[in-house]
Structure 1
Amino acid sequence: MNRLKDKVAIVTGGARGIGRAVCEVFSDEGAKVIAVDIVSVLYSKEWVEGYKANLCSNDDLTKLVEYVKEKYGKIDILVNNAGITKDSLIEKMSEEMWDDVININLKAVFNITKLIAPVMKMNGKGSIINISSVVGEYGNVGQSNYAATKAGIIGLTKSWAKEFSRKGEDIRVNSVAPGYTNTEMMATVPEKVLNDIKEKTMLKRLGDPKEIANAILFLASEESSYITGQLLSVNGGLRL
């Protein structure tokens, strides 16, 4: 239970769902975790610290990185998990709906990684895990904004894996694409739609947040020390 002993991890979107599960699993494995979210985050885990920040604010992100550097002296792991949905068919999708999803799901990933990558380079080591989605792999009706961001995450992952290792640094960048998972985001999905998703999934069920978190743990740990630039699909065999 010490796969991340003495590691310092930042997890965005850490207040709930997959992000919260990641924070708890990382803490159980010995990491000191900073759970970043737009809302206040409270944890019973000893080594999980909530940090309130707006991921669309460069000022907030700069303060976050400086705070972690000052308190812990390093950043070993970054999990870019925060994301939102604003679904609509393209004919009814407003520019605001498009921009809001792009800004949180994609631009914020760029902004925080731009700040943290140099810290990892100074240490010569690090692991970045970007959370994509099965929708980023296959697309989905009414989610063109969300699909675009999650497909973009895959492109960023592959580009950064090359960029961050080109001078010999051991900085790995990978992506996880979860399938449909039992989180708060799924609470408004009609039961008929959920049943249809389960039927399209080889394992005939939705995922559990901890199952996704365990895959992220693998990519954060030294068990995946020879893996970079990859997309790990964790979707129970779903095909949209």
Structure 2
Amino acid sequence: MTDQYQAFAQSPIGKLLIKNLGLPSPQSLDRFESSQPVVQGEVLLGAAAGSTLSGAIAQVLHNIHANSYAGNNAELQQAAAKVGLSLRAFNSGDKESKFKALVFDASGIENSEQLNELYNFFNPVARQVRASGRVIVVGISPESAKTVKQAVAQRALEGFVRSVGKEFKKGITAQLIYVDQGAEDNLESTLRFVLSPRSAYVSGQVIRVSKADVVSVDWTKPLAGKTAVVTGASRGIGEAIAHVLARDGAHVICLDVPQQQADLDRVASQIGGSTLALDITAPDAGEKIKAAAAAQGGLDVIVHNAGITRDKTLANMKPELWDLVININLSAAERVNDYLLENDGLNANGRIICVSSISGIAGNLGQTNYAASKAGVVGLVKFTAPILKNGITINAVAPGFIETQMTAAIPFAIREAGRRMNSMSQGGQPVDVAETIALFAAPSSSGLNGNVVRVCGQSLIGA
């Protein structure tokens, strides 16, 4: 559905009225195009004294051929030189330069007094970030800190990043990446994602990178040779997921209920995939998924996207509506996971990706059943992640207001509130959810396990 307000906001008279009245001003967001570089513009790199992750960050910037700048920081220059990255000189007094990304290594911050290093780096250039730019802070996981003071200082980074995401406007996103001890070599897939237009509608998020085997990929086709199953793939977000995973090289098995066979066939035909008409709540769903994937060399990725809403206030909700939503949105994914994990249904280095929701994080009027199911999905990820073996990971995305047939049916006033009550002042697109799922699906994301990333434009609710 077209966002008429956003279109109006881009017109000359719209810009004038919005500025004078202080109304939300949605920016047209940059989104991924295969012909474009990871970062379309200059990157300014900074680091706190004694930081240890600058070398890993510089390696990624070198790999993506970023046009990189830095101030007079000897440690940073040395770290970049070791990986062959040339850092052009930048004087913070230069108010004319504009940057597509600001990246700051905060791993050296060991106490609250040293948090002023954030201010010293970002304050002089806060107005010099281009539209749809990126602000990225990289720190160490507070749980792995050596002292209480260090843990407190590293945890403080979250408040800083979330606030920047709400302040900078112009479609600029802000993210925090926590890196576990020894996990610096697992940073690349995440850093590429948050630097690129793939993360257009992801902001104010914390992504945790843990130590794992490092898997090399062809970054243009990271899923080449892999088989993925996407549930609920006949339309909307599921259809977008199928398209993006296929674009990245996967053979996608599109799964939905038999009643959606025509749409399943259409999607599969468009992407060169195959179909599996199946009720995901069936007792033998896991067995049938394994069998369908076996014909393609086994299952590498499963995306639990299928879901429904049956909204009523709790006092007015019939028990069958409660049971239906919980069964489809949560219990079915539990049963399928259990079967696949107990019966070698996932290949080594496999990926399980679940779709939660902002409703599962913040709750929502008239959605006790839906919110319970989507909060349960978060629990499924958090409690499954530590017990996985053989390189298998599990992560989730939690969409906010995404422009789909479902949200198009929402009453006008509620729909407009959903669109505007986030840092981007607009709804997201199904492809935004799909791009984040593709991050988790990639073999190179072996260090991502147990994450829940909101794809909500940094929603003001539950943020």
TM-score by shorter chain over 0.5: yes
Q: Which of 255, 258, 262 is residue 36 of structure 1 equivalent to? A: 255
Aligned to 2:135: none
CA contact (8 A) 2:352 2:394 kept: yes
Match for residue 282 of structure 2 among 30, 43, 57: 57
Counterparts of 1:146-225 in structure 2, within 5 Å, are 146-165=370-389, 169-225=390-446
Which amino acid is 1:183 matched to?
Answer: T
Give 3-state SS (helix, strand or coil) of 2:315's partner: coil
What RMSD over aligned residues (CA atoms) do the two structures have, in Å? 1.5
Question: Is it true that 1:238 corresponds to 2:463 in the alignment?
Answer: no
Q: Which amino acid aligns with 1:63?
A: K
1 CA distance for matches of 2:242 and 2:377?
Answer: 21
Q: Is the 8 A contact 2:420 2:427 kept in 1?
A: no
Q: 1-side partners of 2:354 and 2:285: how far apart?
A: 20
Q: TM-score, structure 2 length as denominator?
A: 0.49
What is the deviation of 1:61? 3.9
TM-superposed deviation, 1:222:
2.8
Check the 8 A contact 1:53/1:61 in 2, yes or no.
no
Structure 1 counterpart of 2:308, one-letter code: I
**Conserved in 1, the CA contact under 8 Å of 2:408 and 2:415?**
no
Cα displacement string for residues 113-157 of structure 1 (whole angstroms, at most 9, x for unaligned residues)? 122224657733211111000111100010000000000000000
Query: Is the CA contact (8 Å cut-off) linking 1:126 and 1:170 kept in structure 2?
Result: yes
Distance, in Å, in 1 between the alignment partners of 2:411 and 2:278 is 32
SS at match of 1:125: coil
Match of 1:227 in 2: 448
Q: State how far apart, in whole Å, the 2-side matches of 1:59 and 1:215 are.
A: 29
- Equivalent positions of 1:93-132 (< 5 A) are 93-118=317-342, 123-132=347-356
Q: Do the aligned residues in 1 keep the contact of 2:349 with 2:391 (CA within 8 Å)?
A: yes
**Measured at CA, do residues 234 and 220 of structure 1 come closer, stay the same or move farther in structure 2, by a change above 3 Å?**
same
Provide the secondary structure at the position in 1 that maps to 2:409. Answer: coil
2:231 maps to a residue whose letter is T
Q: Which amino acid in the other structure matches residue 65 of structure 1? A: K
1:173-198 Cα deviation digits (max 9, x unpaired): 00100111011211210111111112
The one-character-per-residue Cα deviations of 1:85-113 (angstroms, maximum 9, x if unpaired) are: 00011100110110000010011101211
Say if 1:61 and 1:106 are closer, same or farther in 2 by CA, change over 3 A.
same
Q: Between the two structures, name the one with larger relative contact order (CA 8 Å, sep ≥ 6).
A: 1
Provide the TM-score with structure 1 as the length reference. 0.93
Q: Is the Cα–Cα contact under 8 Å of residues 179 and 238 in structure 1 kept in the other structure?
A: yes
Contact kept, 8 Å, 2:395 with 2:440, in 1: the verdict is: yes
Q: Percent identity?
A: 35
| Contact residue 74 and residue 120 of structure 1 kept, 8 A | no
State the secondary structure of the residue aligned to 2:314: coil
Matched, 1:141 2:365: yes
Give the aligned length: 236
CA 74–98 in structure 1, closer or farther in 2 if over 3 Å, else same: same
Tell me if structure 1 keeps the 8 A contact 2:299–2:346: no
Aligned AA for 2:453?
A: L
Change (3 A) 1:14 1:29: same
Amino acid of the structure 1 residue aligned with 2:251: K
Map 1:58-97 to 2 at 5 A: 58-69=283-294, 71-97=295-321
Which contiguous aligned blocks of 4+ residues in structure 1 show a shift greater than 3 angstroms?
Answer: 118-123
**Structure 1 residues 134, 29: CA separation in 2 closer, same or farther (over 3 Å shift)?**
same
Tell me, yes or no, if the aligned pair for 1:136 and 1:151 is still in contact at 8 Å. yes
